[in-house]
A and B are shown apart, each in its own frame.
Chain A
Amino acid sequence: MADNIPGDLKYTREHEWARVQGTSVVVGVTQHAQESLGDVVYVELPKVGSTVTEGKQFGVIESTKAVSELYSPLTGKVVKVNDGLSDNPSTVNTDPYGAGWIVEIEPSDPKQVDGLLDAAAYTALLQNS
């Protein structure tokens, strides 16, 4: 299956995506990430109000076989988490860019988003990996 990489999102080298939404940024994992993970069975989310740091772990995503770390694309405050994932973690597989979103972060500096990869750069990263 071809990798689905929406042009309006930003990306990290750890296969997270970021979507600017007003003053905050919604974060999830990419189609490529969910395919590599396999069936997602558990997502450990940060607490609303907690602080996350760019490049640092903020959560965990588990498939039947493996435990993978989630890294924050930005520094800021968690304003929302996707509570629906506790009952339906497989949403990360079925709709990674939509209902399978993971957290919403209010960045300490909105310009941070500009430092992330755009779709072309992320596509190139996948092709060269």
Chain B
Amino acid sequence: MARQTPLNAAHRKLGARMVDFAGWDMPVQYSSVIGEHEAVRTGVGLFDVSHMGEVEFSGPGALDTVNALISNDLARVADGQAVYAGLLDERGTFVDDVVAYRFSPERILICVNSSNREKDVAWMKTHAKGVAPVDRSDDYAQIAVQGPKATGLVQRLTKTDLSKIGTYRFAEGEVAGVKCLISRTGYTGEDGFELYSAAGDAVALWDALLTEGQQDGVKPCGLGARDSLRTEMKYALYGNDIDDQHTALEAGLGWIVKLDKAAFIGKEALVAQKAAGVKRKLVGFELTGSGIPRHGYAILKDGAPVGEVTSGTMGPTVKKAIGIGYVPTELSAEGSTFDVDIRGRAVPAVVVKTPFHKKP
């Protein structure tokens, strides 16, 4: 039996098409993936992301404990800030990618992928030196409000001054009378918020956002649009673009790896890899022939397999067949060309600058 978020009945009432996603019964679309995608690019969309996990580190030494587990540096940001980070293993490859929220040096909350929750909690319990992690996932629901009209919508429902919350910053407040962690983060490339509430308050918050958002043309959005939106931004998806076979440097996520901070798991491997040179890189490309690149397709150079597509779609906003994949470093520069093996056809592709979608 698939797990359900507190909003499961609400999705069914809205006529969502439900699918199994990493053991969760989740909406893949309500009306149309492209329509939902466009709503987020031009207006506002709501996503139930309550399947994401939350792990709390609470007590003296929490910051140091977490900093030794993640690749980014929580000591470098202030209370009320969040960082995107790798939860890496000793080889510098990913156990997961996470967002860590710094409430104070004594309280850190880590948001993890639903598909990795149990693995992450076990990993953190094994490797945490100091404060012990507590899996709070079942206590939280999470609703993402994303799009150029997201701030206006949320602001009408809260007394918290949202203009004071910058990107990757958060505040605790009330939205529609529901206590929330109001975080200016997202996975779409648009402005917006992720609202963490108590699981029991999720329906009230969801309904209030849908009702108040009518004047903005708000649309509930499923995992389909979430995937096409993040692909147009080249945001990594665990299990597709990042995994325990590719390092953070190969994934092009060197910016979330602070090699100059104190010891963290994976640091030595990444220092060594950086010195030796990174042999393959995750790139964004467009097809110049016809077709759509998909996860798992081979990347060919002169007919020989040299890499693999990790994500791909027909970008609804960029209106091009776009893909993400690992290629040898010598083929990673913008303008490099290779082929993608689409059902036996070698379809030409070119490496392009990412994100694919640039804000107008």
Interface set of A (CB-CB < 8 Å, partner B) = 38-39, 41-42, 44, 60, 62-65, 67, 86
Contacts and interface: CB of A to CB of B under 8 A. Distances in A.
Nearest to A67: B294
B310 to A, nearest CB: 16
Contacts, number: 40
Interface residues of B, number: 18
Nearest to B343: A60
B61 interface: no
Listed residue (A60, A62, A65) with the most chain B CB atoms within 10 angstroms of its CB: A65
A60 B228 CA distance: 20
A41 B28 contact: no
Given A60-B343, A64-B34, A64-B316, A38 B292 contact: no
A38 B291 contact: no
Interface in B29-70: 29, 32-34, 37
A38 B32 contact: yes
Interface string B309-329: 000011010000100000000
20 contacts: A39-B32, A39-B33, A39-B34, A41-B292, A41-B313, A41-B314, A42-B314, A42-B321, A44-B290, A44-B343, A64-B34, A64-B37, A64-B227, A64-B228, A64-B313, A64-B314, A65-B28, A65-B224, A67-B292, A67-B294
B290 A86 contact: yes
Nearest to B19: A65
Contacts of A67: 292, 294
A63 B33 contact: yes
A42 B291 contact: yes
8 interchain residue pairs of minimum CB distance: A41-B314, A64-B33, A39-B34, A42-B292, A65-B224, A39-B32, A39-B33, A62-B292
Contacts of A62: 292, 314
A56 to B, nearest CB: 14
A39 B33 CA distance: 7
A91 to B, nearest CB: 14
B29 A38 contact: yes
Listed residue (B37, B294, B314, B316) with the most chain A CB atoms within 10 angstroms of its CB: B314
Interface in B313-360: 313-314, 316, 321, 343
A3 B121 CA distance: 46
Given A39-B32, A86-B290, A64 B343 contact: no
A42 B37 CA distance: 17
Contacts of B290: 42, 44, 86
